[in-house]
Amino acid sequence: MELKVLGPAKPAAGGCAKGSCGSTADQMAHLPEAIRDRVKNHPCYSEEAHHHYARMHVAVAPACNIQCNYCNRKYDCANESRPGVVSELLTPDQAVRKTLAVAAAIPQMSVLGIAGPGDPLANPARTFETFRQLSETAPDIKLCVSTNGLSVPEHVDELVRHNIDHVTITINCVDPEVGARIYPWIFWKNRRIRGRKAAEILIEQQQRGLEMLVARGVLVKVNSVMIPGVNDEHLPEVSRVVKEKGAFLHNVMPLIAEAEHGTYYGVMGQRGPTQAELTALQDACGDMNMMRHCRQCRADAVGLLGEDRGQEFTMARIDAMAIDYAAAMERRAAIHAAIEAAREDGRAQQAAMTAPAAVPAGTRPVLIAVASAGQGLVNQHFGHAREFLVYEAGPAGVRFVGHRKTDQYCVGSSTCGDAGTALERTIRALAGCEVVLCSKIGIEPWGALEAAGIQPNGEHAMEPVEAAAAAVYREMFEAGALDAAPAAQIA
Amino acid sequence: MAYSITSLCVNCFACMDVCPSRAIAEAKPHFVVDARTCTHCEGDYADAQCASICPVEGAILDPDGLAANPPGSLTGIPPERLLALAACSPA
């Protein structure tokens, strides 16, 4: 099958042999054109696309057929942003109306996904009815599904029939011993099965489902939740196995576990990984194509990946909207064409600005945080940023390594209880970054950032992110700032 | 007596989808079992289907009125741990 395309990537100029390494623009470069074409406007499958295109999830799938230790089925909150959480459950008809309304209001929208709040394939009638209607009424919108994998084999034909081009399977393990510590039970062949036996069945179904989808030409992304002490050391093996079977992208996400979420891991005190642990594991996952821009969004999220505009599109509001669907589709086509043209320009500009790397190999890399509201540009005011994109600039180029949220009500137990201001929390979230690029910044945060050893920089406003990061890195090199170790930061 | 659903139900449709007798209906504030239609799955399955897929402890009562899935039986969280948490969090 043509889709087994992941290996062996040509070593990037500069020496790193990892297919996942190098600048983010190059990340997809080793994929065949046919696949790049299929993911180029999918924000969840292409790091570059997520600056430009929006997605939404419709919550039509409340039932689940397994229990995961990081999930609490009782949870439902408007202020929480994480998988499995929704505010308003929809019928398929409502979901279709909502999708068409959002796609009319946000013409950057390219993707509609069903991801819960339970498992889409444990709700086949509601899930496929939604897909069936949408493939008729909004044929330009890509449909995708995110599943735990237990029921993939029995639904492969139907997924293909509805033109579901992208499927995400959450695979946290390929070893039942590990699985028994993640999944307390599954519902299988009309029984609740527990323990190691449950994990064995789930793993077998996931792997079979992955193989069947790949054989049918569906693009499969694998999500894994990194759970320190449970599956962290095991995930490189998972990455190797799923790559071998034809998954084209691996997304390792950090465990989210707080006692107040009421999950097994949260209540029992299981910790999530640190950013450094997550990055190290992503780097350790061989030459699998790694995804690092996941925002772990809600099962009813709406908008660009870094934002959630779900509150603007409650069913009450949608029912009050008058929408010309045909006109909306034309407008989407025009906007998408404009985005593609702008991306082409951006790439040219990027290439021109980053081309001659004047920094010698061996020079230490620098983490650069960027405030961006989209389009791949440094175009957001520091104070408006609810998250920062983090890039690592080095002699070989600039690569995207992750994002840091600033609007979390709690950024970890070490900070709990102290009355840190929003600015202090943001500075803590930026720990390890030496520069923050933004379009503008106030005097007070400027001083506070400098005092904390992070250099604010507003001189690259409206420039493409990677080109700006490369320019700053060159400036730092020329100023001799890379000769010494980074300045000590005050956290 | 039949199986029944308590106010702990989160309205996830899972039981309704798997009930072989179509005895479960969506309702407010939570799903309900029609006691006349419920067969306890006898003749269809070894285990009551609603009780076997329900993710919430205490949400389904067996014909004797006892929790089909008592506290701790699905999540593995020791009930005393939950009580301790409830006691120290603001209501």
Query: What amino acid occupies position A161?
Result: R
Model confidence over B10-56: pLDDT tens digits? Answer: 999 999 999 999 999 999 999 999 999 999 999 999 999 999 999 99
Answer CATH for A24-319 from 3.20.20.70, 3.90.79.10, 3.40.50.1820, 3.20.80.10: 3.20.20.70
* Residues in chain A within 8 Å Cβ distance of B82: 262, 267
Q: Which residue has the tokens 């929704």?
A: A86
Q: Which of A127-136, A220-229, A239-248, A393-402 has the lowest mean pLDDT?
A: A393-402
Question: What is the pairing mode between strands A54-57 and A109-114?
Answer: parallel
Contact in structure between A344 and A338 (CB atoms under 8 Å): no
> What's residue A416's pLDDT?
43
Contact in structure between A397 and A22 (CB atoms under 8 Å): yes
> What's residue B91's pLDDT?
41
Distance in Å, alpha carbon of A128 to nearest chain B alpha carbon = 15
Please state whether the peptide bond connecting residue A176 to the residue before it is cis, i.e. omega within 30 degrees of 0.
no
Q: How many domains does chain B have?
A: 1
> What's residue A336's pLDDT?
87
> What's residue A413's pLDDT?
44
B22 touches chain A (CB under 8 A): no
In whole angstroms, give the CA distance from residue A116 to residue A123.
9
> What's residue A17's pLDDT?
37
> What's residue A30's pLDDT?
59
Q: A297, A277, A185: which is closest to A235 by C-alpha?
A: A277
Q: A183, B28, B5, B64: which is closest to B14 by C-alpha?
A: B5
Residues 63-122 of A with CB under 8 A from B: 63-65, 67, 69, 72-74, 76, 89, 118, 122
Query: Can you say whether residue B40 is alpha, beta or left, with left for phi > 0 and alpha for psi between -120 and 50 degrees?
Result: left
Question: What is the pairing mode between strands A387-394 and A397-405?
Answer: antiparallel
Q: What is the dihedral of CA A160, A170, A306, A287, to 10 degrees?
A: -100
From the list B12, B53, B89, the residue facing A62 with the nearest CB is B12
**Chain centroid offset of residue A252 CA:** 9
Whether B13 sits inside 8 A of A67 (CB atoms) is no
Contact in structure between A235 and A255 (CB atoms under 8 Å): no
Q: Which residues of A282-316 are buried (b: 16+ CB within 10 A; e: fewer)?
A: beebbbbbbbbbbbbbbbbbbbbbbbbebeebeee
Instruction: Identify the residue among B24, B73, B75, B88 best suited for mutation to test binding to A, counting A beta carbons within 10 A and taking the highest.
Output: B75
CATH fold of A358-478 reads Nucleotidyltransferase; domain 5 (3.30.420)
More confident residue, A476 or A483: A476
Q: At what angle do helices A443-451 and A422-429 cross, to 10 degrees?
A: 50
Q: What would the 3-class secondary structure string for A89-142 be?
A: CCCHHHHHHHHHHHHHHCCCEEEEEECCECCHHHCHHHHHHHHHHHHHHCCCCE
User: Looking at chain A, which residue has its C-alpha nearest residue B52?
Assistant: A192
Distance in Å, alpha carbon of B80 to nearest chain A alpha carbon = 11
In whole angstroms, give the CA distance from residue A77 to residue A63.
18
Q: What is the dihedral of CA A214, A18, A297, A248, to 10 degrees?
A: -10
In whole angstroms, give the CA distance from residue A45 to residue A293.
9
Q: Mean of the pLDDT values across residues A471-481?
A: 89
In whole angstroms, give the CA distance from residue A221 to residue A42.
12
- Encoding tokens for residue A355? 């081309």
Contact in structure between A226 and A278 (CB atoms under 8 Å): yes
CB-facing half-sphere around the CA of A109: CA atoms within 13 A: 30
Domain that holds residue B44: 1-91
B84 touches chain A (CB under 8 A): no
What ranges do the domains of chain A cover? 24-319, 358-478
Distance in Å, alpha carbon of B24 to nearest chain A alpha carbon = 14
Q: Which residues of A339-369 are buried (b: 16+ CB within 10 A; e: fewer)?
A: beeebeebeeebeebbeebebeeebebbbbb
Q: At what angle do helices A235-244 and A275-284 cross, to 10 degrees?
A: 40
Number of H helices, E strands in chain B: 3, 4
> What's residue A24's pLDDT?
42
Q: Which residues of A156-171 are buried (b: 16+ CB within 10 A; e: fewer)?
A: beebeebebbbbbbbb
Whether B53 sits inside 8 A of A63 (CB atoms) is yes
Percent share of chain A, pLDDT over 90:
45
Q: Which residues of A179-217 are buried (b: 16+ CB within 10 A; e: fewer)?
A: bbbbbbbbbbeeebbbeeebbbbbbebbbebbbbbbeee
> What's residue A76's pLDDT?
59
> What's residue A81's pLDDT?
57
Model confidence over A62-105: pLDDT tens digits? Answer: 999 999 999 988 755 545 556 656 667 899 999 999 999 999 98
In whole angstroms, give the CA distance from residue A111 to residue A114.
10
In whole angstroms, give the CA distance from residue A48 to residue A28.
9
- Torsion sign across C-alpha atoms A247, A251, A257, A261: negative
Query: What amino acid occupies position B7?
Result: S
**Chain centroid offset of residue A330 CA:** 28
User: Looking at chain B, which residue has its C-alpha nearest residue A74?
Assistant: B10
- Encoding tokens for residue B77? 């969280």
Model confidence over A197-249: pLDDT tens digits? Answer: 999 999 999 999 999 999 999 999 999 999 999 999 999 999 999 999 999 89
> What's residue B15's pLDDT?
97
Residue A2 pLDDT grade (very low, low, confident, very high; cuts 50, 70, 90): very low
Highest mean pLDDT among A147-161, A281-295, A366-380, A462-476: A147-161
Strands in A455-457's sheet, in edge-to-edge order, are A397-405, A387-394, A366-370, A435-437, A455-457
Residue A21 per-residue DSSP state: -
Residue A377 per-residue DSSP state: B
Q: Which residues of A251-262 are buried (b: 16+ CB within 10 A; e: fewer)?
A: bbbbbbbbbebb
Distance in Å, alpha carbon of B75 to nearest chain A alpha carbon = 6
B76 touches chain A (CB under 8 A): yes
Residue A25 pLDDT grade (very low, low, confident, very high; cuts 50, 70, 90): very low
Q: A289, A469, A259, A255: which is closest to A376 by C-alpha?
A: A469
> What's residue A98's pLDDT?
92
Q: Mean of the pLDDT values across residues A13-26?
A: 39
Q: Mean of the pLDDT values across residues A426-439?
A: 91
Question: What is the pairing mode between strands B60-61 and B4-5?
Answer: antiparallel
In whole angstroms, give the CA distance from residue A237 to residue B70.
37
Q: A1, A51, A9: which is closest to A31 by C-alpha?
A: A9
